[in-house]
Structure 1
Amino acid sequence: MILDIMLGVVAAGSLTALCLVSFKLYIKLTTGICYSQVCLRGKTTIVTGANTGIGYQTAIDFAKRGAKVILACRDETKAREAVSEIIKETNNSNVVYKLVDLTSFTSVRKFANDINSSEERLDILVNNAGAGRLGNKLTEDGIAIVMQTNYFSHFLLTMLLVDLMKKHPSRIVNVSAVGASAGKIDFKKLTSFTTEANQYIVTKLCQILFTIEFARRYKNTNITAYSLHPGVIKTEIFRNLSPIFRWFILFLIDTFFKTAREGAQTQIYCAIENGLEKYSGEHFHDCKMVKRYKSARDPSLAEKLWQESERIVKLRSVEDQI
């Protein structure tokens, strides 16, 4: 009897292990890789949140290709460490850090003014920085902190850099997430939320809708925009989870999901792959174009979000400049 139970436990454990290994292998085999050999020498790039995770890996890739890479980060100590490591790994000394705090529109405007006055061109803007759980507190601008960090500040930053990007063919890459599929926008509560989880997925839906509307409004310029889902990745985005849940989430991520380098592949692809210009406004995953989530297929929703975003960030309409 006891032997039968032990054998049953062993069999169940073996089957579970086999399933987990098979799932891990499937993830590895289906992970998209950017094989582009494009050289970025002479190009200028900005990656927000580039001191860690997929932003850091994206910055390394751009530096290896010869680009000037600007790490747009809030944490100066971590950013300077990242700059040193990137220069050491790539032998590209044209890697710099500039301060931007995405929880402050004032900081975003100061950063944009700095870029516009110091740079002659901007070829790639990767709106990568993101926060998972920072509570329901409001920023100094009176906006839910995750909503402002993940979406509104990136919207403002992009629009403040548009004129600079018009000077040469350029690309905007907006990093979304699979959770966007469950997002639902309530325009009456766009700057405040009752739950952190809903706040996060709405920000990621907004990134997709922003991409769609930007592509529509700027279709007659040399700026193109793309959104993407990088996959479920081992990053620091969940570092603010409560200890009760953090160990379990991190165990799953450590064991089964993409590394930061693997997760960065699709945003690198969207930023540099030749021939993507005709797909401006589209959504990507694993280095290929995919169908947008149902929640992101309404063009009128994208237009309304744009109008509300202009109002919230206090940005005058720029349509007359397009």
Structure 2
Amino acid sequence: MYLLCTIAASLISFLFLKWLKRRRFCMDVKRLDGKTVLITGGNSGIGKETATAMAIRGARVIIACRDMEKAEKAVREIKATSHNLNVLHMHLDLANMRSIRDFCKTFLQREKRLDILINNAGMPSVLDWTDDSFSMCFGVNHLGHFLLTNLLLGRLKECAPSRVITLTCSAYKYQKLDFQDLNYNLFPFFTYCRSKLANIYFTQELARMMEGKGVTAYSVHPGYVQSNWTCHYSILFRIVMQVIMFMFFVSCEAGAQTVIHCAVADEVTAHSGGYFVDCRCASLRPFAKDAGVARKLWEASERMVKLA
């Protein structure tokens, strides 16, 4: 009897965990032949799965990342899986503004098209600083992608209709921005939450600015994904998180589905500036829909990265 109860409890627990981890999959099979897709951090995790999906659809795929050895390996694997040889990598360090400017200069010289920009790369909640003295989370997750997108915006407009997809996280709801200290770095998790909220405001303001110009923008919460973000932490933390991720987090393939959906589905164009979860446009907390704050953040970000 005890054995039967144990088996039944285990089965119920397994089914419950599978229910928690259920995700919609992008069913749109649209081809992307002749299109160019740029993905930051496309050498692993969600970024690599997204890059593979774009390559399978026939796109020219460029993954931009800091580690060239990992990038080369990822390109080989993506080519083998997708049977698309039009996949390449370029060096980009989002923690260094000079690297971003150099990357964009080289990209614009080499590439005549940019149809889909996927701001995928990100830093978890770490207490560290970028080369330009920004907190690592805010500097990479928001400011780096802010500068990158702005420097490539002309090419996106030339290739309209085009799309900008920025990965965020539902953790945005735990913090609000403090314009007296945007570079806040006292509690790493709070800094991470603020960077993810900034991604949402950035997307909304970009969509407003590009209205009628053929460029649409979307922020995506991919879910909690079994990626390699724990590599920035201690071995003990990694071991504990591996167990938790196995139980409750979704695979990278599942996590990439909403990103892919926003990249290819026609229906999303009616929701430019929207926040997407599980392949659907989702609601936001009221404070995350403040157009005045979004505009203020945009102007502050321009000053911080010396864009103006």
Aligned to 1:159: 150
- On the 8 A contact 1:133/1:238 being kept in 2, the answer is no
Residue 175 of structure 1: how far off its partner (Å): 0.2
Offset of residue 10 of structure 1: 8.7
- 1:320 aligned partner: none
Q: Over the residues paired in the alignment, what is the CA RMSD in angstroms?
A: 1.7
Whichever residue aligns with residue 14 of structure 2, its letter is: V
Decide whether aligned partners of structure 1 residues 180 and 14 sit closer, same or farther in structure 2, where only a CA change above 3 A counts.
farther
Cα distance in 2, alignment partners of residues 288 and 86 from structure 1: 27
1:47 counterpart letter in structure 2: I
Partner residue in 2 for 1:95: 87
| Cα contact 2:38–2:116 (8 A) shared by 1 | yes
The aligned counterpart of 1:142 is: 133
- Matched residue SS, 1:189: coil
What's the TM-score, normalizing by structure 2? 0.95
Superposed displacement of residue 121, structure 1: 1.2
Once the 2 structures are TM-superposed, how far is the Cα of residue 275 of structure 1 from its aligned partner? 2.8
| In 2: Cα distance, 1:16 partner to 1:303 partner | 52
Which one of the candidate residues 265, 282, 289 is aligned to 1:297?
289
TM-score (norm 1): 0.91
Deviations 1:225-256 (A, max 9, x none): 00011001100112212233322221111223
Match of 1:71 in 2: 63
Residue 187 (structure 1) shift? 1.3
Task: Specify the SS of the correspondent of 1:69.
Answer: strand
Moved over 4 A (4+): 13-16
The 1:294/1:251 distance shift into structure 2, 3 A limit, reads farther
Q: Counterpart of 1:22?
A: 15
**For residues 78 and 297 of structure 1, what CA distance do their matches in structure 2 show?**
38
Whether 1:80 aligns to 2:72 is yes
- C-alpha distance 19-252 of structure 1, shift in aligned 2 (>3 A): farther
Unaligned runs of 5+ in 1: 1-5, 317-322
Q: Counterpart of 2:216 in 1: which secondary structure?
A: strand
- The answer as to whether partners of 2:168 and 2:220 remain within 8 angstroms in 1 is yes
Q: How many residues align?
A: 307
Per the alignment, residue 232 of structure 2 pairs with 240
State the match for 2:249 in structure 1: 257
The structure 1 residue matched to 2:114, chosen from 122, 125, 129, is: 122
Unaligned runs of 5+ in 2: none
One-letter identity of the residue aligned with 1:20: S
Give distance in 2, aligned partners of 1:238 and 1:27. Answer: 22
**Bigger Cα Rg:** 1
Within a 5 Å distance, the mapping from 1:1-322 to structure 2 comes to 17-28=10-21, 30-135=22-127, 137-168=128-159, 169-316=161-308
